[in-house]
Structures are given as structure tokens and as C-alpha cells.
A and B are shown apart, each in its own frame.
Chain A
Amino acid sequence: MKRASAHRSEQASAGPEHQGPAESRAMARTGMAQARTGAMLDTIGAWLLGILWILPLLYAVWAAIHPPAYATRFDLFAPLTLENFARAWDAAPFPRYFLNTFFLVTMVLAAQLVLSTMAGYAFARYEFRGRDFVFMLVLLQLMVMPDVLIVENYRTMSWLGVRDTVFAIGLPYFASAFGIFLLRQTFKTIPRELEEAARVEGANGWQILMKVYVPLARPTYIAYGLVSVSYHWNNFLWPLIITNSVNTRPLTVGLQVFSSSDQGIDWSVITAATLLSAAPLLIAFLLFQRQFVQSFLRAGIR
């Protein structure tokens, strides 16, 4: 801000008073022309990058919907087929993987919402000694995520006897520092008058939370929910370590097992399987693009 105004005064001193009116009009015209060519260049650059960026995905779609013979041969009239999807679907227990991922994502989100709401509310509205210190301890999880503590968490899961369960995939993520942080920030912005009004009407602490705070934090819940679902749908390393059977593997691990085992180099089938596993999220994203982007924004910025 300061720099901007400094710049302005500099410019002003060297500005129009040194020029005649005709000159400045000519300058304005060339300025306009420059702006127009600038916009043109911008458009071209933006589109080139845009096409380059979407190309890998478009190519994957191409390979998946054409017979293997056309995987690297581009022919506009190549026959379309869903054969690759059918073969992928039959070659590995994808329905089971979908079910596992669905359970995992639902379970993690439910636990996270309940725990983060309670903790976020406590941090936002209760005052007690040691609160800020505990909050710092919670925030520590933003850097030291369960993702990197694989060796010790594996040991803990073995000790609990829950190795190779969907529950064990989700458990380390139930308490989410990110969720607690987001909800605390949101709850803090809700005016206390609303809480006091509810209290006058005889609501207790729990009712106030459920009737005042939670409904007003709806956008945050949606934002957090989308981020959490896409994170756990895509999570790979921890599920890879903690599961080793068809009945517990989520999609990402299933896909890896499928494509690294005896599929040889049938890329069309592998690409079809890849798209299949990303499809629900991708379709949801295409349908609710605006909400997705808004959610990531809200979750990231707050």
C-alpha cells in the first residue's frame, strides 16, 4: 500500500503537466493499443497453458474409451468402446474397493465433524487455564501429520489388534487439527449476543452449540467436508501399509495392486481403471465446481 502511493506521487511529478494535450491523447491511444495486444497475448498464453494442463487427462480418457490398438494412435474415426472399463471392472474387485473407500470416507468425516465441533467450540467459547497452550499442541498436527509417523502408528495398530481394518485406516485422522482450527475461527466470528439471547430463553450449553453455532457455521462445515472427503478418497500411503486384503483395501491401494500386478502393459485397461477410481470425485467436482473451489478457498485462507 505504502509503496503504491509512493509510486503514485513519483509519477504525478513527472506527469501530464510536462506534456501538451495532443501528446497525452496520443499516448493514451498507444496505451490502449498496448493494452489490447497485452490482453491478446494473455488470452493466447492462458489458453496454451490451459490446453497443456488438461491434455494428460484428455489423453487418459482417449485411451480408456478406445480399443488398445488405438492407445497411442490418433484417429478421429477410431471406434469407441466401453470394453476397457468392463474388463477392468471384472479383473479386480472394484465394487468392494469402492465400498471400502465409501465407508472410510464417511466414517472419517463423521468422526472429524463431531470431534472438531466439540473441540472448536471449547477453544472458541470456554475460558480455562492452559487453553492456549493446548491449542498450540493441537496445531502441531498441522506439520507432524499421521502421514509421516507410519512406523509408530503401525506399531500402535498392531498393539490394538486392528491391523488390516478400515477402522485402522481412519483412526489416526479422526482428530483433525485443521478441522478444530477452522471451526474455532468460525465460532469466534459468531456474535456473543446470539448466545446470550438463547441463554435468556433457557437454552443450556449443548443446545446453544447445536441451535446457534452449528447452523451458523454451515459454510465452514461444507468446505471442510469437501476437503476432507477428497483428501481421504485420495490418501494412499497409510492405507497401503495398514491393509493387506481385498476386504479392507480402499480404491487407491486397489488400483495400485491392480496396475502393478500381472496386467502387463495393457494401458487401456489400466487407464480405464484409473479413471474409474477417480470418477466419483471428478464428476462431483465437475458438477459442483464453484462450491469445490470456494471450499478450498475458505479452508485454506481462514
Chain B
Amino acid sequence: MARNMKMSDKDAGAAMPRAPASPASAARAMKAVYGWLLLLPALLLLAAFTHYPAIATLWHSFFSTPKGRRPAVFVGLDNYQTMRDDPVFWRALWNNLWFALGTIPTSVALALVMALWVNRNLPGRGFLRLSYFTPTVLPMVAVANIWLFFYTPQYGLIAQVLGIFGLPGVNWLGSRETALPALMLVSVWKEAGFFMIFYLAALQGVSPSLREAAMLEGASRWQYFRRVLWPLLMPTTLFVLINALINAFRLIDHVVVMTRGGPDNASTLLLFYIFQVGFSFWDTAYAATLTVVLLAVLGLAALLKFRWLDKRTHYQ
């Protein structure tokens, strides 16, 4: 290779002494062109459906919603003022934060416990892995439909079981106190198995000699977990936490199916409110303004994740 390059450099020098571009650099330029050509289709589509809409969202948040023949006019921060004074927006944001706070630690902790169990040689390991992971494969819409039945007052499964013990039924999805927690439960059930997979992968990378050494030294299982496993699993935990955070703001299928944000907006989430404002009230400008807030939240998660990805890619 090197000899070839030298040869061609010399040839080029002899042929056209003043040309600034030698064949080598021409080849490099060609390679750059090919590189861009290979990227082009993907970049165009990404720009059209990710970058452009993100910027357009910000742009449209400064305009009014076009109505009939009246075009959109620049209104400055009016939409943001409306948002500041909109109790439903604050309700949705708080609900979403509670939702994240309620589901993320629970599902991550459960995922870790599941992974620790499945990673050991317990009897029926195949069944356990299957049962933990299966909810992940089901569509959220299907899951929500099944749980909708569980929660149905009087007739539903939970009501029936409570009835056996003579306990009064609760309208789980119909009362303000229980609607959001009921949605959280569905979310945890669906997601824990998914996060388990990541922990399982990390655990399989932990050398068994570490455990043996710890046991030989008389460390208890808790000490082994706390001092050895937990620090080793830290990168996985971070990764899972960020993914869980994104999912908490991105997935609203269960809200659409089970409560439609009700009762009295007690279970509305930010994206669901955007969906309502955008496609039920057709107030696209205000929906854009709300989306800006959602993008800010996701951007924060992005920052965290990029730092994490950076660390990972340096290893490779």
C-alpha cells in the first residue's frame, strides 16, 4: 500500500507539477463524496422527520393557530403565557413527574431482582425468564385492554377477588386518587422484564471468581451485592434509568385506552395532553408550545445519555 502511494505521488508530480491535488488526495476526496452519498438518503429522512419537526415545533409555538381563512400570526410568547396559566398543563406535567417517580425506581428494582434470580441456577429458570419477559413482547394496547378488565368496578377481576374477602370495591380508573397509580402498575408490569434483560447481560459479564472470592472471605450475600455487584452494575443502572425516563414521557398508549386522562385530568400525561390539544381541540400552535416543554425534558435525558454513550464508545 505505502509503496503504491509513493509511486503514484511521484508520477503525479512528474505529470502535472503545479496541480495542488495529487491522486491520493483526489482519492480521498472521492471517498468523502461516496461517504456523503451513502449517508444522504438516511440524512434526508432524518432531517425531514426529526430535525425539521423539532425546529418547526419551536417556530410554530410563537404563532397563533390558523383558523379557517385567518392565517397564523406572530404572537410572541402568548402561547407560553397561556401555558403558564393553564392548570391542565401543570396537572399533566406533575402527573408525568409522579408517574416517572412511581414507575422508574419500582421497575428498575424489580428488574434487578429478576435478573439476579434468573442468573442463578434456580429450578424452573426457563419458566421464570419466560414469565418475567413475556409482558414486554405484548403490545401496550393489548396489555391495557387486559388490565382494563381487571380494574372494571363490580364485574372486574380485582373487584371479584375483593368481594370474596368481603371488601368494598373501588372504581380504580374512575376515582382521582387511584387512576394514576393504576396506570403505573400496568407500566411496571410491562417494563420490568425489559430492563431485566439489560441487567442479565451485565451479570453474565461478571466473572464468577469474584463471587467465589467474596464467599471465601466470608462476605455475606448482601455484602457481595453491595460491595461488588452494585458498583459493577452501575453503568447498566444508569442506562436503564435514562431509558425508563424517556419511556415515562413517550408512552401514552395505556392512557388512551384506559382513562383518556380522566377523571378530571387526574391521569393525564404530557404527551396525552399534547395529543388532545392537537387532535381533539385542533389547537396546533398550543400543542406545539406544549411539545417544546416535552422536547426540553427529552433533551435533558439526551444530555445524560450522550455522556453515557461517550463513555461506552471509548471502550470500543
Taking Cβ atoms with an 8 Å cutoff, the residues of A that contact B are 1, 3-4, 7-8, 11-12, 15, 27, 31, 38-39, 42-43, 45-47, 49-51, 53-54, 56-57, 59-60, 63, 72, 115-116, 118-119, 121-123, 126-129, 131, 134, 136-156, 171-172, 174-175, 177, 180, 185, 188-189, 196, 205, 230, 233-234, 236-237, 240-241, 251-252, 255-256, 259-260, 265, 267, 270-271, 274-275, 277-278, 281-282, 285-286, 289, 292-293, 296-297, 300-301
Q: What chain A residues lie within 8 Å of B210 (beta carbons)?
A: 4
Q: What chain B residues lie within 8 Å of A233 (beta carbons)?
A: 139
Min CB–CB distance B248 → chain A (angstroms): 12
Does B275 count as interface, using CB distance less than 8 angstroms? yes
Does B219 count as interface, using CB distance less than 8 angstroms? yes
Q: A53-B132, A57-B134 are in contact. Are A153 and B49 (CB under 8 A)?
A: yes
Main secondary structure of the interface of A (DSSP, over half): helix
Bound-state Cα–Cα, A297 to B239, Å: 13
Binds A, one of B75-83, B88-96, B196-204: B196-204
List the B residue with the shortest CB-CB distance to A63: B149
Does B135 count as interface, using CB distance less than 8 angstroms? yes
The 8 sampled A-B contact pairs (Cβ below 8 Å) are A119-B38, A152-B53, A155-B56, A172-B50, A175-B45, A251-B139, A271-B149, A292-B137
Does B165 count as interface, using CB distance less than 8 angstroms? no
Does B244 count as interface, using CB distance less than 8 angstroms? no
Q: What chain A residues lie within 8 Å of B271 (beta carbons)?
A: 148, 237
Whether the Cβ atoms of B146 and A236 lie closer than 8 Å is no
Taking Cβ atoms with an 8 Å cutoff, the residues of B that contact A are 1, 28, 31-32, 34-36, 38-39, 41-46, 48-54, 56-57, 60, 110, 113-114, 117-118, 120, 122-124, 127-142, 145-147, 149-150, 152, 155-157, 160, 189, 193-194, 197-198, 200-202, 210, 213-214, 217-219, 221, 223, 227-228, 231-232, 239, 246, 249-250, 252-253, 256-257, 271, 274-275, 278-279, 284, 287-288, 291, 294-295, 298-299, 301-302, 305-306, 309, 313, 316
Whether the Cβ atoms of B32 and A300 lie closer than 8 Å is no
Bound-state Cα–Cα, A31 to B28, Å: 66
Whether the Cβ atoms of A60 and B197 lie closer than 8 Å is no
Whether the Cβ atoms of A152 and B134 lie closer than 8 Å is no
Whether the Cβ atoms of B42 and A115 lie closer than 8 Å is yes
Whether the Cβ atoms of A42 and B45 lie closer than 8 Å is no
Whether the Cβ atoms of A293 and B42 lie closer than 8 Å is no
Bound-state Cα–Cα, A180 to B306, Å: 16
Whether the Cβ atoms of A46 and B218 lie closer than 8 Å is no
Contact of B140 among A150, A236, A285 (CB under 8 A): A236
Whether the Cβ atoms of A72 and B157 lie closer than 8 Å is yes
Whether the Cβ atoms of B279 and A255 lie closer than 8 Å is no
Min CB–CB distance A193 → chain B (angstroms): 12
Bound-state Cα–Cα, A122 to B41, Å: 12
Q: What chain A residues lie within 8 Å of B149 (beta carbons)?
A: 63, 267, 270-271
Bound-state Cα–Cα, A301 to B41, Å: 27
Min CB–CB distance B229 → chain A (angstroms): 10
Contact of B218 among A11, A126, A151, A155 (CB under 8 A): A11
Q: What chain A residues lie within 8 Å of B152 (beta carbons)?
A: 265, 267
Main secondary structure of the interface of B (DSSP, over half): helix
Whether the Cβ atoms of B295 and A118 lie closer than 8 Å is no
Q: What chain A residues lie within 8 Å of B295 (beta carbons)?
A: 144, 148
Q: What chain B residues lie within 8 Å of A171 (beta carbons)?
A: 45, 49
Whether the Cβ atoms of B45 and A148 lie closer than 8 Å is no
Q: What chain A residues lie within 8 Å of B256 (beta carbons)?
A: 236-237, 240, 256
Whether the Cβ atoms of B131 and A51 lie closer than 8 Å is yes
Whether the Cβ atoms of A46 and B288 lie closer than 8 Å is no
Bound-state Cα–Cα, A235 to B212, Å: 45
Q: Which 5 pairs across A and B sit closest by C-beta, in order of nearness? A: A126-B35, A152-B53, A128-B32, A143-B302, A175-B45
Whether the Cβ atoms of A131 and B35 lie closer than 8 Å is yes
Please indicate which of the listed interface residues B133, B149, B193, B302 has the most CB atoms of chain A within 10 Å of its own CB. B149
Contact of A297 among B49, B201, B214 (CB under 8 A): B201
Whether the Cβ atoms of B128 and A134 lie closer than 8 Å is no
Whether the Cβ atoms of B49 and A146 lie closer than 8 Å is yes
Whether the Cβ atoms of A149 and B142 lie closer than 8 Å is no
Q: What chain B residues lie within 8 Å of A205 (beta carbons)?
A: 34
Whether the Cβ atoms of B142 and A7 lie closer than 8 Å is no
Q: A145-B250, A149-B54, A282-B134 are in contact. Are A126 and B142 (CB under 8 A)?
A: no
Min CB–CB distance A50 → chain B (angstroms): 4
Bound-state Cα–Cα, A180 to B39, Å: 10
Bound-state Cα–Cα, A131 to B43, Å: 12
Contact of B221 among A38, A126, A274 (CB under 8 A): A38
List the A residue with the shortest CB-CB distance to B44: A175
Min CB–CB distance B89 → chain A (angstroms): 15
Bound-state Cα–Cα, A283 to B41, Å: 35
Q: What chain A residues lie within 8 Å of B34 (beta carbons)?
A: 122, 126, 205
List the B residue with the shortest CB-CB distance to A147: B250
Min CB–CB distance B195 → chain A (angstroms): 9
Bound-state Cα–Cα, A175 to B46, Å: 6
Min CB–CB distance A276 → chain B (angstroms): 9
Bound-state Cα–Cα, A123 to B122, Å: 44
Q: What chain B residues lie within 8 Å of A293 (beta carbons)?
A: 129, 133, 197, 200
Q: What chain B residues lie within 8 Å of A63 (beta carbons)?
A: 149
Bound-state Cα–Cα, A273 to B309, Å: 41
Min CB–CB distance B272 → chain A (angstroms): 9
Contact of A49 among B36, B114, B157, B288 (CB under 8 A): B114
Whether the Cβ atoms of B42 and A175 lie closer than 8 Å is yes
Whether the Cβ atoms of A47 and B124 lie closer than 8 Å is yes
